[in-house]
Chain A
């Protein structure tokens, strides 16, 4: 039994990598994920990546921000300590618009960053987990889960035929920057 956990096909050229994806898909070999140093147009559709739900998170955070600030200001300025400001009513709706708007934006922005970090396991002080260091630099990497996908030699041959400059048989899933 092989101790290989992941097979990585490293490409120099994004078009060759797209070829590699096609070849693997034609041979019904499931692709675990693809890592590239830059965005590749159309790759989500090709890999069948599910549409991001970040927009829904953004909407919820926006609603939360609006509710939070509206409640705070309503409590302080209308309920707890009403003041006469320029003879306006205590619950002066137009006044509430700018800060409600601002807090909606603030919560949406921060909430989206937090959601993105949580979804990608990026936290301050944590070494990011990557499968191949050069995928952030100059290599386009296709990762195939080795478990259940045999024979490994056939996968290696397919990737090499597609133009992979290197095929790695990794025994660990991730390499970290601090290793």
Chain B
């Protein structure tokens, strides 16, 4: 089979120069920020504040990487051809999922098991830095002065061993599936044939079933349980939408920056158009779930549910609450509505950055009212932690990308389709 195209598939990504320097500088800024947050910050709740930011960013990190695995899996399941040329980017995300998982497990573990003195309804208690709403000793012990019947009722799920154990199992499973899909693709590069494709197809199907059922549980545990009295059955899908759309934005951003630097000559505006449609569609899906959660709570108006939004309508949060919708719904809706805009690498890059910042705010509004409550802050700790994690993600992801023998799965059965993709 003779194929004629001007692309060099043996081209490798070289991680050096400005990209390396900038990401290392960002990591240093992040580390200094965390040191500042724990040791120097004079804010009354500086430790909880730093823990909240670490939780936010490691959850964000895992979300982006797991969205890479999710993207790979549904591309295989749909037998999609268009995306083959850019699959190495989500594969690099899948490769570094492990780093995010380790970070998240450390942050959640420390937040759960390290305690500090806190006043709880007039009683001095030793509360953990995170998850104090359910993980404080005595909340579920009958006869204890701070006994809480609602929390005790949830203790089958919200108890430390099960919570931490199930979190670790789910995250390791996602990482393992991500590694499998990357390994199959590498083996396909050297062997060719349909064997690895068929294996990827099968494992993608199994992954999607497991992922679909466990991701809501993962977000119920990691984020929703920060406000353990409250619950929403839509929270899992809401978080999946957020993770997915940030993953897509990270793919688009990485792709357009690499393209600017002369890589990925086989990817053109037609591929970007498809990524743009996914980002556009899933931004609207995110809004749909966000609104549905808000709408049902508002309509039913039951105090135990409304309290969640009541808190977010206090003056400290209200402005951010609306900004969330502007950044994550209005911006992609209007900036990507036109065909030509989705086909423009510059426009897609701008929208990807807006969405990445927007969903930081989205997670901020999920976490801070539960941990920092009325003492929330926006300042040095928030910005430096964000910068640090962005640097870390860029550093490990680009290193992983540079380890691939080629920037394209060159023996993927649908590669030709991707090269000739035209819409």
**Chain B stretch 258-297: residues in CB contact (< 8 A) with chain A:** 291, 294-295
Complexed CA–CA distance, A137 and B422 (Å): 25
Contact string, B106-130, partner A, CB cutoff 8 A, digits 1/0? Answer: 0000000000000000000000000
A55 and B295 contact, CB distance less than 8 A: no
B422 and A55 contact, CB distance less than 8 A: no
A94 and B338 contact, CB distance less than 8 A: no
Given contacts A41-B422, A42-B422, A94 and B299 within 8 Å (CB-CB): yes
Complexed CA–CA distance, A88 and B298 (Å): 10
In the assembled complex, A86 has its CB within 8 A of some CB on chain B: yes
Residues of B within 8 A of A59 (CB): 337
In the assembled complex, B3 has its CB within 8 A of some CB on chain A: no
| 18 pairs from A and B in contact (CB 8 Å cutoff) | A41-B422, A42-B422, A55-B338, A55-B339, A59-B337, A86-B299, A86-B301, A87-B301, A88-B299, A94-B291, A94-B294, A94-B295, A94-B298, A94-B299, A95-B299, A97-B291, A97-B295, A98-B295
CB nearest to A56 among chain B residues: B338
B288 to chain A, nearest CB (A): 9
Complexed CA–CA distance, A95 and B294 (Å): 11
Contact string, B404-423, partner A, CB cutoff 8 A, digits 1/0? Answer: 00000000000000000010
B422 to chain A, nearest CB (A): 5
Chain A residues near B (Cβ < 8 Å): 41-42, 55, 59, 86-88, 94-95, 97-98
B344 to chain A, nearest CB (A): 15
CB nearest to B298 among chain A residues: A94
Residues of B within 8 A of A41 (CB): 422
Chain B residues near A (Cβ < 8 Å): 291, 294-295, 298-299, 301, 337-339, 422
B366 to chain A, nearest CB (A): 20
Q: Name 9 extra pairs, CB < 8 A, besides A41-B422, A97-B295.
A: A86-B299, A86-B301, A87-B301, A94-B291, A94-B294, A94-B295, A94-B298, A94-B299, A95-B299
Residues of A within 8 A of B299 (CB): 86, 88, 94-95
Complexed CA–CA distance, A88 and B301 (Å): 10
Residues of A within 8 A of B291 (CB): 94, 97
Residues of B within 8 A of A95 (CB): 299
Residues of A within 8 A of B338 (CB): 55
Complexed CA–CA distance, A41 and B420 (Å): 10
Complexed CA–CA distance, A97 and B291 (Å): 9
A58 to chain B, nearest CB (A): 10
B299 to chain A, nearest CB (A): 7
Residues of A within 8 A of B294 (CB): 94
B286 to chain A, nearest CB (A): 15
Complexed CA–CA distance, A98 and B288 (Å): 10
Complexed CA–CA distance, A97 and B287 (Å): 12
Complexed CA–CA distance, A14 and B291 (Å): 48
Complexed CA–CA distance, A86 and B295 (Å): 14
A116 to chain B, nearest CB (A): 17
Complexed CA–CA distance, A111 and B295 (Å): 29
Residues of B within 8 A of A88 (CB): 299
The CB with the most chain B CB atoms within 10 A, among A41, A59, A87, A94, is that of A94
Residues of A within 8 A of B301 (CB): 86-87
A51 to chain B, nearest CB (A): 8
CB nearest to A98 among chain B residues: B295
Complexed CA–CA distance, A97 and B337 (Å): 20
Residues of A within 8 A of B295 (CB): 94, 97-98
Complexed CA–CA distance, A87 and B299 (Å): 10
A140 to chain B, nearest CB (A): 19
B303 to chain A, nearest CB (A): 14
Complexed CA–CA distance, A95 and B298 (Å): 10
B201 to chain A, nearest CB (A): 26
